Amino acid sequence: MLLEQILFFVAAAGAIGGALGVVLLRNPFFSVLALVAHLVALALLFLLLRAEFVAAAQLVVYAGAVMVLYVFVVAYIGGVEETVGGEGLIGRTGPVFAGALLAELTIAVVGSGLGALNTRGAHVPAGFGSPGAIGKLLLEKFLIPFEAASFLLLVAAVAAVVLASRRRGLEELGGDELPERAGRAPLPTVDGGDGARPNVEDARPIPAGTAEGPGDPTVSRGGGW
């Protein structure tokens, strides 16, 4: 019992610290690393709740694969530092809104008077969240949602390929901006949009806070997204 409480508080401190790190750290790369720490602490909480398979999937899929995807994208677009807490109305509203939401949730949970919340949970057999039990449930009772989830993953993979592909998808709308094709003649523009500018090199780095949007300042802002 004592060991369970110690583990719970250590994992809870790790989870909250990781979550605060995601929000408060300025560099997106460090935010991703904080989220990895958060996910590992959350997997420990899942283990305490007897959800062994969910904990393993959390570690392997989330902290492993998805976070590596994040790290790749952060390394690709470069870590753009930004101010936290922000200026203006929005930056001040965020913490106030979060505090109000937390107070409401805590009142709802603690003050609800639900006697069931104060229990330590029902008595569960050994192997409650084991891969065998969860897999049996997934392949028998929840077979249709399982297959729908696999189809959803397939659709998302196709969407990512279309969105991020080099010569199709959104690139057709924006013209040719690829570095290896910079030497060629620029594509003719119909509406004088922001795409297909011949001066590709000097427009490459964009400061994060510029209001002009990418590239040519004479182009109206509506030419971007």
Partner 1 sequence: MSIAWYLVLSGFIFCIGAAGVIARRNPLVILLCLELMLNAGNLALVAFSRMVGNREGQVFALIVMVVAACEVVVGLGLIVAMYRRRVPIDVDEVRELRG
Report in angstroms the alpha-carbon separations of 117 from 109, 121, 192.
8, 8, 62
Nearest approach, Cβ of residue 101 and partner 1 (Å): 5
Helices (H), 49-84: 52-57, 67-77
Residue 139 binds partner 1, judged by CB under 8 A:
no
Nearer to partner 1, 74 or 182 (CB): 74
How many whole angstroms separate alpha carbon 183 and alpha carbon 169?
A: 22
Site for partner 1 in 29-58 (CB under 8 A): 31-32, 35, 38-39, 42, 45-46, 48-51, 53-54, 57-58
Residue 124 binds partner 1, judged by CB under 8 A:
yes
Residue 2 binds partner 1, judged by CB under 8 A:
no
Nearest approach, Cβ of residue 185 and partner 1 (Å): 20
Nearer to partner 1, 183 or 212 (CB): 212
Half-sphere exposure of 86 (CA within 13 A, CB side): 10
Nearest approach, Cβ of residue 20 and partner 1 (Å): 6
Residue 109 binds partner 1, judged by CB under 8 A:
yes
Reduced to 3 states (helix: H, G, I; strand: E, B; else coil), residue 222 is: helix
At which residue do the structure tokens 């590709």 appear?
Answer: 200
Which helix (DSSP H) or strand (DSSP E) does residue 90 occupy?
Answer: helix 88-110
Residue 116 binds partner 1, judged by CB under 8 A:
yes
Nearer to partner 1, 116 or 185 (CB): 116
Nearby residues of 179 by Cβ (< 8 Å), 6 or more positions away: 200
Nearer to partner 1, 166 or 185 (CB): 166
Among 37, 59, 128, 181, binds partner 1 (CB under 8 A): 128
Site for partner 1 in 186-215 (CB under 8 A): 194-195, 203-204, 206-211, 213-215
Report in angstroms the alpha-carbon separations of 97 from 18, 39, 90, 94, 105.
20, 24, 10, 5, 12
